[in-house]
């Protein structure tokens, strides 16, 4: 286990900083890790990656990005400017996370992010279950994928250009979209659950709008086609798809 409080690792001149704790995990609070010259990778195959009240920075946002191949590996030598958190479980609370290129969270079980700001050109989460609450996603492209449940609460996504949220059951509350965005929402059956935005309980296998889910400040179900469970009262801005194989 790697653990600590009040640690500062900053002003690094490293192509890519990697902190690995294969079995024990990484658990820290009040930590600053900044590598303006490259990437930051925090990895544990069997442990938990957990940060609270911390600042993690990989690269300088807005700096030139190296071209990557299809797997996300930089083609030329140099910093990938990527922030990656990978563990059996990943948890971030009260964090400020910045990556010049990509912020990538991966877990075999659960990702929990609460009261956190994440800024990157691309933001990707992949886990069995994802819980996101009071998170500011400052990005051009947001891709959150869960094999079981994805819960997204209290996030304004109206400035995000491309959004792809997919899970077996997708549960949204207090989420704002814009009709100018490319919005893809996935669930097992690719349909919107009945009683959208009424506070009804989440229906397994559906895309669920629990309450206060809007597009341009209007009820989001109005921007979903009738064939996919919406009202179709507005031009379709939200497209649903099935995540089942």
- Strands 162-166 and 141-146, bridge-based pairing: parallel
The answer to whether the beta carbons of residues 44 and 20 sit under 8 Å apart is: yes
| pLDDT value of position 36 | 77
Q: Which pLDDT score, from 0 to 100, does residue 22 have?
A: 56
Q: List per-block mean pLDDT (blocks of 10 residues) for the chain, which spans 245 residues.
A: 41 52 75 79 85 84 49 46 90 94 94 97 97 98 98 98 98 98 98 98 98 98 98 98 94
Q: For residue 30, what pLDDT is reported?
A: 85
User: Number of helices (H) and strands (E), helices first, in the chain?
Assistant: 0, 21
**40: buried, middle or exposed (CB in 10 Å: 19+, 13-18, 0-12)?**
buried
Burial category of 200 from C-beta neighbours within 10 Å (exposed 0-12, middle 13-18, buried 19 and up) = middle
Q: What is the pLDDT of residue 60?
A: 64
Residue 66 confidence (pLDDT) = 46
Q: Which two tokens stand for residue 14?
A: 């490293």
- The number of beta carbons lying within 10 Å of the beta carbon of residue 62 is 8
Length of the chain: 245
Place of tokens 């207090």: 174
Look at residue 226 and give its three-state secondary structure: helix
Return the residue matching tokens 């990697």. Answer: 18
């Amino acid at each position: 286990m790697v653990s600590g409080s009040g640690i500062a690792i900053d002003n690094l001149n490293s192509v890519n900083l990697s902190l690995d704790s294969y079995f024990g995990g990484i658990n820290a609070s009040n930590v600053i890790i900044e590598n303006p010259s490259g990437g930051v990778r925090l990895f544990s195959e069997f442990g938990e990656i957990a940060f609270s009240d911390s600042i993690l920075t990989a690269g300088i946002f807005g700096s030139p990005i190296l071209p990557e191949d299809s797997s996300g590996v930089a083609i030329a030598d140099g910093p990938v400017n990527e922030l990656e958190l990978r563990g059996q479980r990943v948890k971030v609370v009260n964090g400020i996370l910045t990556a010049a290129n990509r912020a990538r969270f991966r877990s075999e079980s659960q990702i929990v992010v609460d009261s956190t700001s994440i800024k990157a050109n691309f933001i990707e989460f992949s886990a069995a279950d994802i819980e996101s609450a009071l998170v500011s996603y400052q990005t051009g492209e947001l891709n959150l994928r869960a094999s079981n449940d994805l819960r997204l609460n209290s996030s304004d996504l109206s400035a995000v250009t491309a959004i792809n949220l997919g899970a077996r059951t997708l549960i949204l509350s207090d989420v704002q979209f814009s009709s100018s965005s490319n919005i893809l929402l996935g669930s097992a059956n690719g349909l919107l659950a009945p009683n959208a935005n009424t506070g009804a309980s989440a229906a397994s296998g559906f895309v669920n709008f629990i309450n206060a889910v809007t597009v341009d400040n209007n009820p989001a179900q109005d921007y979903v086609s009738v064939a996919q469970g919406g009202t179709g009262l507005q031009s379709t801005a939200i497209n649903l798809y099935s995540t089942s194989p």
